[in-house]
Amino acid sequence: TLRLICTTTAVQRKNVGASGPEKYTEAFIKKQIEEFNLGKRHLANMMGEDPETFTQEDIDRAIAYLFPSGLFDKQARPMMKHPTEVFPEQRKIQWGEDGRPFHFLFYTGKQSYYSLMHETYEKFLNVQKHQDQLIAQDLPLQKEKRNLAGSRWLTKIELEEMLLEKLSDDDYSRFIQLLQKLVALPCADIEENYIQKFCKEVPVQLQRVVIEPLQYDEQGVAFSTGEGKRKTARATAIVYDNGTGKITVNGTDILHYFPVLQDREQLLFPFQFLGRIGKHDMVCTVSGGGRSAQAGAIRLASAKALRSFVTEKEVEFMRQAGLLTVDPRVKERKKPGQEGPRRKFTWKKR
């Protein structure tokens, strides 16, 4: 930091902004809570409702009615909330009247973090002692593995919120390593409650795509439906079992609807991949897009319909072949100052 030597007294005045975030005393917060409760009763009387059963939603509605604001940012509008939600939680004064701090690790600077490490290490030693006792008595060590797949450790931000203290990345990684060491011990089940405080359930991210079961029509023939899209084309396909390989699009045969060979190949690709060319009938409807887009849409729709006829392994093969993914490519917009999406105007030297 720079030390000012030849300066005026005005410049050397204490920098007000450097004092850090505002510290709210307990008395201040108490006063705010009293004012809030009083204000809540006044508001209830003004709105003509019962002060005893006036909930936070009623308060929000009343404030929105009395102080209408057209501001876009919801957080800039007038609001009336309980002071504990408005003022962030802060550390109170850490020492008593005689000056002695309350926490025995106060002088380290990061008392909550180091006390957490101390406790965790104590649990670790406990588990080791228990293990030694079991070995001394020749009992087998429990080997029930915790399900690690569905849970994750707390993130650094969550831990900071828990401890009300700033942590560094190094501190956080050390804590996680210690927890992992603790979990790796065979008799760690004793301290399961303690470890659960630092675990979180991870929701299963894979959206298990539900494969619909086959439906049966009047004659008893199995069929299934699928929808697909490509660029601007949308298609629905109904695939029937015990067929001869006849494909109808919008009421017309594919030979008439798609004169080009490439489009017909696109339609037949899912059947060819599964080796079921002559076994299925298909009826599709398609709208929008151009010739190639419609072909791609029907291809996707038929692949989705075929999932119901086929084993899970083959579904996985289809997915890996790219038959079940929606093609995300659409027409890119034209930008100002350029002739097209990418093409720039001809550059003239002079």
Partner 1 sequence: DDKLLTEPLSHPDFFSVKELFTLKDLFDARVHLGHKKGCRHRFMEPYIFGCRLDQDIIDLDQTVQHLQLALNFTAHVAYRGGIILFVSRKRQFCHLVESTARACGEYAHTRYWQGGLLTNAHIQFGPGVRLPDLLVFLSTLNNVFEPHVAVRDAAKMNIPTVGVVDTNCNPCLITYPVPGNDDSPAAVELYCKLFRMTIIRAKDKRRQSEAIEELR
**Which positions lie near partner 1, rule CB under 8 A?**
93-95, 98-101, 104-110, 114, 118, 121-122, 125
| Nearer of residues 114 and 153 to partner 1, judged by Cβ | 114
Minimum CB–partner distance for residue 108 and partner 1 (Å): 5
| Nearer of residues 114 and 269 to partner 1, judged by Cβ | 114
| Nearer of residues 98 and 144 to partner 1, judged by Cβ | 98
What separation in angstroms does the CA of 226 have from each of 202, 295, 324, 329, 338?
32, 14, 11, 21, 40
CB 235 within 8 A of CB 228: yes
Q: Exposed/middle/buried for 314, CB within 10 Å: 0-12, 13-18, 19+?
A: middle
Minimum CB–partner distance for residue 119 and partner 1 (Å): 10
Minimum CB–partner distance for residue 106 and partner 1 (Å): 6
| Nearer of residues 109 and 140 to partner 1, judged by Cβ | 109
Task: Give the pairing type, strands 281-287 and 247-249.
Answer: parallel
Task: Return d(Cα 229, Cα 288) in angstroms, integer.
Answer: 10
**Phi, psi (5° rounding) for residue 85?**
-85, -30
**Phi, psi (5° rounding) for residue 152?**
-135, 160
Minimum CB–partner distance for residue 37 and partner 1 (Å): 31
Type of residue numbered 202? V
Around Cβ 101, how many Cβ atoms within 10 Å? 13
Minimum CB–partner distance for residue 100 and partner 1 (Å): 6
Type of residue numbered 49? E
| Nearer of residues 32 and 115 to partner 1, judged by Cβ | 115
Task: Return d(Cα 294, Cα 350) in angstroms, integer.
Answer: 47
Residue carrying structure tokens 């996680």 = 176
| Nearer of residues 144 and 169 to partner 1, judged by Cβ | 169
Minimum CB–partner distance for residue 22 and partner 1 (Å): 14
| Nearer of residues 17 and 203 to partner 1, judged by Cβ | 17
Q: In the chain, what is the straight-line distance between the N-terminal and C-terminal CA atoms, in Å?
A: 54
Which of 187, 84, 205, 60 lies closest to 135, judged by CA?
Answer: 187
Minimum CB–partner distance for residue 8 and partner 1 (Å): 25
DSSP symbol at 288: S
